[in-house]
Amino acid sequence: MFSKLKLIIKSRKVRVPSVPGSVGVPRVKTPGFRFSLGQGKVKFVIAGSVMLSGLVVAVGLYFAVIDIANATYEYPEAGAVYPDLHNNQTMGQPLQPYVGGTLDGVESQTLEISLAAGARITELTFDDMELGRTGLTDCVVVQRGAGNSTGYLWADTFYIKGGTSAPSFDMANSFAHTLAVAGSTDGHTNSSTLDNTVTDVTIQSERGAGSFESEGGVVDRVIITLLGDAYVKTVSFNDVDCSVGGWNLDYIKAGLFQQDATTKWGDGDGINAADHVIQSTVKYRTSTDILVDVPISVK
């Protein structure tokens, strides 16, 4: 910040207008002694220095604020990626333009959160959001980033609730000590595997942890990208509605993965074609499945 101000100040010349006449500085008289700031030239030098300093600081701050405002993204807006949340950073970098898989100059409205290896977070919260865009196949994604072949999203609790809806849901390559799914769906398949070696996940310490919350957002999709193992106390999706695409969750290790009875999943193709799928690569120690098959078409 200070180096930027220094460069800005060096690159600009500030002229101080000449002042006709002399600048008078009042004298303070007290019994026994006299106080004065000197003669006319000294007074002019003092007054000029004060004016110059004030103008330089004002000009520097003005251009610094304009530069920062035009060059950064503040979370949790769409069209930017937010790394290193465990360092409490909130600035983002622009995402690549994306329309139909091609770069055509139109800025993407994806909300992407990249979690650095070792990131420690109190909560990832998505509340009252509207998602969907023609041509996309996924609206909520948990995925591994480039160079990460082993990292997981470790979560004490992972909630999907509050009337969340989408045309489809798919979960794979994950572990949950307690897997509890409910809601209404236009056909479902649960092929998850019971494995009594799956351990509970407890994340309590919040020392040095960051957080992320997006409320009332309107974006095309939400992507959580893992750059290594990341540790989150609570992941919460509440009233997150997708009009196009589905949920695609991978690489999660949760103490409790819970989807409540208010959620709705389906694309209207009938209950004999599963729109809510839990793959056999999802392993659990304890599970409850009270999904109800009913004809549903989420739009």
Average pLDDT value for residue range 223-249: 95
Q: What average pLDDT does the chain have? A: 80
d(C-alpha 237, C-alpha 139), whole Å: 13
61, 5 Cβ separation under 8 angstroms: yes
Q: Which residue has the higher pLDDT, 108 or 231?
A: 231
What's the pLDDT score for residue 82?
A: 63
Among 71-75, 115-119, 168-172, the least confident range: 71-75
Residue 96 per-residue DSSP state: P
What's the pLDDT score for residue 102?
A: 47
What's the pLDDT score for residue 7?
A: 45
Q: Is the pLDDT of residue 74 over 90?
A: no
Dihedrals phi, psi of 45, to nearest 5 degrees: -65, -45
What's the pLDDT score for residue 105?
A: 46
Nearest Cα neighbor of 149 from 175, 176, 173 is 173
Cβ neighbours of residue 268 closer than 8 Å, sequence gap 6 or more: 186, 295, 296, 297, 298
